[in-house]
Amino acid sequence: MSSGPSTKTPLRAFWHDLPREGRLLLSIVVVEFIGTGLVLPFWVVYLHEVRGFSLATTGLLIGVQPLAGLIAAVPGGGLIDRIGARLVLVGSTTLVLVGEAVMAFASTAPLAALGFALSGCAFGVSFPASQTLVATIMPSHLRQRYYGLNFSLLNLGIGVGGIVGGAFVDVHRLWTFQTIYLVDAATFLAPLFVLLVPLRHVTGRAEHDEAETTKPSYREVARLPGMRTMVLLNFVASFVAYAQLNSGMPAFARDVAHVSTQGLGLAFAANTLVIVLLQLVVLQRIEGRRRTRVMVVMSAVWALSWVLMGASGLVPDTWGATVLIATCASVFALGETLLQPTMPAITNDLTTDRLRGRSNALASIAFQVPMVLAPPISGWLIGHHQQVPYVVGLVVGCGLVALLAVTRLEPLLSPTANGVGVRGPLDDPPPGTAADALRESAGQP
């Protein structure tokens, strides 16, 4: 037994351990995402009930954002590697600020499409850029904790924003919706200031050797050991999980379980609350454990959440159905707290500095494509009364995630990439690290 400090680094020690740049980035997360929470729940209400667009037009307009993000992600990854993540984030933050301001005055469909296109392009490159910037600032042994804490603060901001927005907006007063969009735009001034002033010395870019004869490319990213499997895992996990939470679960709750809109709102509130309350606890529990095995637990948790959703269809139009849907969203949130610290950390430990922007962009694309594909598929299955095959398919898909993590990804990961090979100054050696290192040096799996 070690006589040193506890293997579970407390939050205070973690904050003290962070580089100054990391503390600056975390300090503005809540402010930035309060603005997102103000507008995110009310897209359909604003466009359909306030601006008067038909539901069909509203659906098309909302679809512009993820489509624009996918289109921007590929060139965005290359741009990150070429000019640095910080400058790309400055550009994307400015872009989303303008996009949200346009949405405040989107009285016509083309204006609304422009607003969604601007914000979609911004979000398409901001995710890989922010992941890259964090990876260049944070040492490897702190990234998992950083990504998890960032996710908790992000959800806290969205939750607070949603509560404030719900209490403030009124469908009979256009100015209330214009106000929340303008406030959302203003919240991006905080990260813009941090990027332009205190972080102006950070590039978020690897120094390129002028003697290099080959330029970074996505083909080179695909050749990195484990990266193709990681991209596949991102795709499958997104398809059977996040894409369903945003589209399939609400459709199932409304059309099969007959849960009220208030009940659905309660479910999403519970989801956010669980993330905020449990993320730090989960971070301490998974520290020093194999990330691939954490993903197995994550898959089992998600499978349970879909079983609970399916059970709600057995007692439609009852309080029991509402409780089951809320429990489904809460259990799903536990899986989210396992996902967010691990998968981005693996991606950034698999790649190299010169390919970091493209690697994060590729992971982002793999995660975003199901957001476009899943809604029509889940909508068709639920609309054609195929709820049993739908739920069974999701549970089997969660099993596939676990299988890929253990049988395909784990053998390709070094102890460091799998979260057991690096320790920080405040950590004891995680269990199994020495054994893993000996097996690796001996050429054993």
Q: How many C-beta atoms surround the C-beta of residue 374 within 10 A?
A: 21
What's the confidence (pLDDT) of residue 349?
92
**This prediction's pTM:** 0.80
CA-CA distances (angstroms) from residue 369 to 141, 317, 376, 392? 30, 33, 13, 22
Q: What is the pLDDT of residue 266?
A: 84
Q: What is the DSSP letter of 412?
A: G
- Which tens digits make up the pLDDT trace of 402-425? 999 999 999 999 998 998 865 444
Share of the chain above pLDDT 90, in %: 52
Q: With b meaning 16 or more CB within 10 Å and e meaning fewer, what string describes 284-310?
A: bebbbbbbbbbbbbbbbbbbbbbbbbb
What pLDDT is recorded for position 408? Answer: 94
In angstroms, the CA 406 to CA 417 distance is 14
How do residues 213-271 score in pLDDT, each as one tens digit? 578 889 999 999 999 999 999 999 999 998 888 778 888 988 899 988 778 878 888 89
Write the pLDDT tens digit of every residue in 344-403: 999 999 999 889 999 999 999 998 888 888 888 888 888 888 899 999 999 999 999 999
Read off the pLDDT of residues 87-139 as tens digits, 9 standing for 90 and up. Answer: 999 999 999 999 999 999 999 999 999 999 999 999 999 989 998 999 888 88
CATH 1.20.1250.20 describes domain 1-201 = yes
Number of H helices, E strands in the chain: 20, 0
Q: What 3-state class would DSSP assign to 315?
A: coil
Are 1-201 and 221-421 the same fold in CATH? yes
- pLDDT one-digit tens code per residue, 137-153: 888 888 888 888 888 89
Domain residue limits, the chain: 1-201, 221-421
Burial tier of 16 (Cβ tally within 10 Å: 0-12, 13-18, 19+): exposed
Fold of 221-421: Growth Hormone; Chain: A; (1.20.1250)
Report the pLDDT value the prediction gives residue 282, as an integer from 0 to 100.
92
pLDDT confidence of residue 2: 41
